Amino acid sequence: MRNAPPGGAPYYRVPYGQEELEFMLQPWFDLDIVESATATPILDLADETVRRLQAPLGGKRLRDLAADAVRKTPDARAVIAVTDLTRASPDAVLVPPLLGELNAGGIPDAQITVIVAIGLHRPTTDAEKRDKLGSVVDRVRVVDSNGRDPAMWADLGTIPPYNVPGSTQKLIKEADLVVATGIVEPHQYAGYSGGRKTVAIGCAGEPVITATHGMRFLEDPGVRLAKIEGNPFHETVREIARRAGLRFCLNVVTDDRERVVAVAAGDPDAVLRDLAVKAAALYTRAIPKQYDIVVAGVGHPKDVNLYQASRAATYLRFAPTPVVREGGAIIIPARLEEGAGEGAGEQRFLAALERAESPAAVVEEARRHFAGGEQRAVMVALTLQWCQIIVAASEAPEIVRLAKLRAAVDVEEGLDIAYEHIGRPTRASVLLVPRALHTLPVVQSGVAA
């Protein structure tokens, strides 16, 4: 936590796409800045990954798991599930050492498939697969998961505690060894994301995504950011991943600049436990109060569309104490070059907001009928019932307005709109969170601004 420099530095910066957006603050605003903690980035991620693979947490080396699989089935097949394009997981670096371990255990490249866990997001192009995975695409088969076609799914039975209809890709269920990569960071529903979620949600069939993101989970008090214990979403993800056959994870933690600061490999439970502690120490930051206005930075790749960028507002609203006061405003600078997003889930998100008469109507409609993707609309609607949301400097202002949010040409106009919204007080408190998806501000006093 830090204050603006004395005398007021006239310009501030916030992530915007792969660059930064500069904005000026008017003198009637009192600015504080909160960023995640600092940690030493790993200079040689490939070397550190190999080191971690040699000493896995909670179980056998991957090469030994591969050897076990080959002893049972000589032509054993392995699947590596990787995150989709909206997660900045450095898979081009992480996957080759995994391939090396599988090869050392007796599973050749010809028997290995990498599956991109797209959930209900749009499919990835060949160019995007190469950009994400590098030379891996020349070594092994790379495919997208398919959450829309039941013919691609394998049934996993009913998943407690809320009786979710479990499924995964047949490709995963029929594999002899399943591995996953992922980033461990605060997640609106799972508490912390990671390789288990890559498999359990990213590679699931649509009924799993719909059920786990429905109102029963959204309204459960255990389903919260940075909360694992007593979180039924987390418990469901864990069980789906287990039934899908996930045996080994290679996960990372990244800092505000998406530099890897921690790596862990091994048993999925042990890896998540280890990295969630490190992530909490990095991301959780104390702030003294709620604020009138919050400027919430996102940056690439999450600000590619409104579906992903809107998380900045809902994360701040559903922090342990809302970071912005009731009746305040959140400003999200975001490029939105893909508009609302091109996948089925993203389109449902926009449609749910567009067709409803009000934010309250979005929530009520979701209680009557719900489809995967609309959970993001519900979270946005609940946030709109608390505060104003302004999206600044986007390439899709018409989409922003259809989603019942305010569009601003730049951050300065966003601040003007927010200032008008809160009644133009003599002084207004502003919190700048440059990386709102990597920073979890925790209000210490509970006293509003």
Question: Is residue 297 predicted with pLDDT exceeding 60?
Answer: yes
Nearest to 415 by CA among 310, 317, 295: 295
pTM: 0.84
Q: Is residue 447 helix, strand or coil? A: coil
Q: How far apart are CA 209 and CA 190, in angstroms?
A: 13
DSSP string, 341-393: -SSHHHHHHHHHHHHSSSHHHHHHHHHH---TTHHHHHHHHHHHTTSEEEEES
What's the pLDDT tens digit per position in 348-397? Answer: 999 999 999 999 999 999 998 888 889 899 999 999 999 999 999 999 99
Q: Pairing mode, if any, of strands 440-443 and 78-82?
A: unpaired
Domain ranges in the chain are 2-33+288-443, 45-281
Identify residue 285 by its one-letter amino acid code: R
CA-to-CA distance for 322 and 325, rounded, in angstroms?
7
Give mean pLDDT, residues 177-188.
94
Answer for the pair 390, 401: CB distance below 8 angstroms, yes or no. Answer: no
Mean pLDDT of the chain: 94
The C-alpha atoms of residue 276 and residue 274 are separated, in whole angstroms, by 6
Return the CATH fold of 2-33+288-443. Answer: 2-enoyl-CoA Hydratase; Chain A, domain 1 (3.90.226)
Average pLDDT value for residue range 1-15: 70
For residue 173, the 8-state DSSP code is: H
Q: How far is CA 163 from CA 150, 218, 233, 239, in A?
A: 19, 15, 11, 11
Separation between Cα atoms, residue 71 and residue 177, nearest integer Å: 12
Q: 83 pLDDT band (50/70/90 cuts)?
A: very high
Q: State pLDDT tens for residues 395-430.
A: 999 999 999 999 999 999 999 999 999 999 999 999
Q: What is the pLDDT of residue 10?
A: 67
Give the number of other CB atoms < 10 A from CB of residue 64.
14
Contacts of 284 (CB under 8 A, 6+ apart): 226, 440, 442
Contact 95, 195 (CB under 8 A): no
Tokens of 139: 């070594």
CA distance 388 to 398: 17
Token pair of 205 as six digits: 């069939």
pLDDT the model gives residue 3:
62
Report strand pairing: 164-169 vs 153-159.
antiparallel
Is the model's pLDDT at 449 over the cut of 60?
Answer: no
Please check the confidence at residue 6 and state whether its pLDDT lies above 60. no
Model confidence over 333-349: pLDDT tens digits? Answer: 999 999 999 888 899 99
- What is the band of 1 on the pLDDT scale with cuts at 50, 70, 90? low
230 contacts: CB under 8 Å, gap ≥ 6? 222
- What are the pLDDT digits (tens) for 201-240? 999 999 999 999 988 998 899 998 889 999 999 999 999 9
- Is the CATH code 3.40.50.11440 the one for domain 45-281? yes
